[in-house]
Structures are given as C-alpha cells and as structure tokens.
Amino acid sequence: MKICFLDNSPIPYTPNDLNSKDIRGGENVIIHLSKELAKLNNNVEVFNNNSESQTFDNVKWTNINNTNKENVFDYAFTNNDIRLFNKISAKNYIAFSHSIQSIEKFIRKGQLLSFLKYKPKVIILGKYHDDNRNFLLKLFGKINLQWAVDPLFLEAEIDDSNVENRAIFTSRRDRNLDILIDIWKKKIFPKNKSIKLFVTPSDLIENNFNIYSRNFDNKISLLKDMLKSKVLLVPGHKGELFCIAAEEARELCIPIITLGIGSLSERVEHGITGFIAKNSDEFADFTLNIFNNYNLWNEIRNNLLNLRGSKKWKTVASNLLKQL
C-alpha cells in the first residue's frame, strides 16, 4: 500500500532527531510508525517541515510544501491538523488526536469543514480518550491503538545497583507538577528527608525540600536519570490521553505512583506495576512505602520485569493494519 503522514509541526525533524528533547508524542509516533509500516512492505512517505528530501529506513521524508495531488495514496495520516489533507490525494484518511477537543475548539481551529470533506477515522488511545472525545468527532469511525516506546528504553540494561534513593517526574511541567511538589513538600519529605525528587525544569523547584531539576538535554540524559530512580511520581492530568512518560517508566521497570487523573488510571495496574492513589494522603503513603519497604519495591520491580518488552512499535503497526 501507499501510505503518507502529514505533519506541520514547526520542528524540522527526521529520524536522526529521535533522541532530541524537542521530539514529542506526535513526532515520535510518526518516526516509528512510518518505519515499521515500511518494514511491512508498504510504500511510505512523510511530509513535514524538514528542509530537504531524504530517505531513512525505506521511508521518504519530503518537505510538506512539495506535495503532489496527482500522487494518490491508499491511506493518509495527519498529526492533529485535518486541514493538511487538502495537500494530497488519498483513498482513505486517518487523523491522530493527541488532545481532547470540544466541538467549539474544533470549529474555532478551522477543522470542521475538512473533517466533513475527508471523513477521517480517528485514532483513539484508550477508554479515557474515547469517553472524552465528542461522539460527533468520531462520526466516521475510530481505530483503537496504544503507543509503544523508543527501543532506547526497551534495550536499556536494568541494574538494581544503579538505583538511588530518588523519585522522578518526567512528564511536562504543566501536567500537574505543582500538585506533586505540594504533596512532596507537605506530606512526603517531612517524613523522610533522605529521599530526593528530580523533576522537569520548573520555577517551582526548591532544593530545600530535596527537589532538583533533572537533566533536560536529550533522551539519553533522560534515560540515565530514570535508571537511577526508584519510582516515577506522576499525578496525571485531564489532558493526558496516553502518557508516554508512564510507558517509558514501565519498560524501565520503575514502579509508578499516580492519582490516576486522565489516562493514568489506564497506564498503571494497581498493586502490580504501581499504585493509583485516591487522594494526596494515599499518594504520599504509597510513595513512602516504596522507599521504606524494599520487599514491596522489589515485588513491583519483578512484576515489571516480567511484563517488559510486551509493547513494541512493530506490534502497533500490525494492529493498525488490521483495522484499516
């Protein structure tokens, strides 16, 4: 099949930029899905804002201003902007959705006319995503998928001797980092002042409470920080439709503690891969137990080791093709 991906992200990325700190969810998905679909004998092209035509892993990467409507694709995918379908010709259209869009926001962003014209199916990332997307915006069908993580996280060596007495938060700082820091300062740190919290750079950081900025250079630095961490603390957020940060922790066998906001209740199996707290007191108690009870931490760690490697991009690509 002939497949294309359309992305108007201002980042002029290619697969060479995979480990850059600038590569986020949508870009990451396109890099991996295009590669895996090409491996399955599909003719794949990515149109984005990279400056020149290049080929990586049998995927052609072309500047989005160089599309040709005479070239007809079997399937066209767009990253968040349905209007980009105007640039190409395809038999079928599919849209990635990485945000909860109300009808009002959908119309305000000029998506409605293109939605009605191209009738795209929408990729849904889980129950939370499905429940919170207006049924009218799934009018032409949906495809159910779950994303995977970079091979970097799948292939990393897990060594307990590297783990320090520290927690980490790796999501975006606008994903309720303020809630986490408040719980840490009031309910966790006062009860165990030997532990540390490393978070995404923010002006909320206070070293007096053993809160520090994690390395923010690239994914290699992120990986090194995570491998030193005993637990991922991530409250969740109503805008979090999948939370790749939780999946990365899962593949690195790091227990996760969350308030279950947004899709986080779907990323964690309570008592198996981490804990879903009902409130801030439970969140603090679960965190302290992970630090103070080695047997508990080791039990969750072993559960995660047994699950490791079960979610890969080649599986995501195969699941996608089955639903086309």
DSSP character at residue 85: G
Residue-wise pLDDT tens digits, 33-51: 999 999 999 999 999 999 9
Mean pLDDT of the chain: 94
- Kindly state the average pLDDT of the residues 138-165: 95
Query: If pLDDT is split at 50, 70 and 90, which confidence band does 142 have?
Result: very high
Q: Give the number of residues written for the chain.
A: 324
User: What pLDDT is recorded for position 106?
Assistant: 82
Residue-wise pLDDT tens digits, 218-263: 899 999 999 999 999 999 999 999 999 999 999 999 999 999 999 9
Query: If pLDDT is split at 50, 70 and 90, which confidence band does 22 have?
Result: confident
d(CA 282, CA 268): 15
Query: Does the pLDDT of residue 24 top 90, yes or no?
Result: no
On whether the CB atoms of residues 243 and 217 are closer than 8 A, the answer is no
User: What pLDDT is recorded for position 108?
Assistant: 86
> What sign for the dihedral angle of Cα 233, 237, 241, 244?
negative
User: What pLDDT is recorded for position 80?
Assistant: 83
d(CA 150, CA 4): 21
Interstrand relation of 54-56 and 59-63 (parallel, antiparallel or unpaired)? antiparallel
Query: If pLDDT is split at 50, 70 and 90, which confidence band does 60 have?
Result: very high
User: What pLDDT is recorded for position 50?
Assistant: 94
% of the chain residues with pLDDT over 90: 85
Lowest mean pLDDT among 47-51, 107-111, 166-170: 107-111
Per-residue tokens: 278: 């009902």
Query: Does the pLDDT of residue 101 top 80, yes or no?
Result: no
User: What pLDDT is recorded for position 206?
Assistant: 86
If you compute the radius of gyration of the chain from its CA atoms, what whole number of angstroms results?
21
DSSP character at residue 133: S
What domains can be seen in the chain, in order of their start residue? 2-144 (3.40.50.2000), 151-307 (3.40.50.2000)
- Kindly state the average pLDDT of the residues 50-56: 94
Q: Supply φ then ψ for residue 221, to 5 degrees.
A: -65, -40
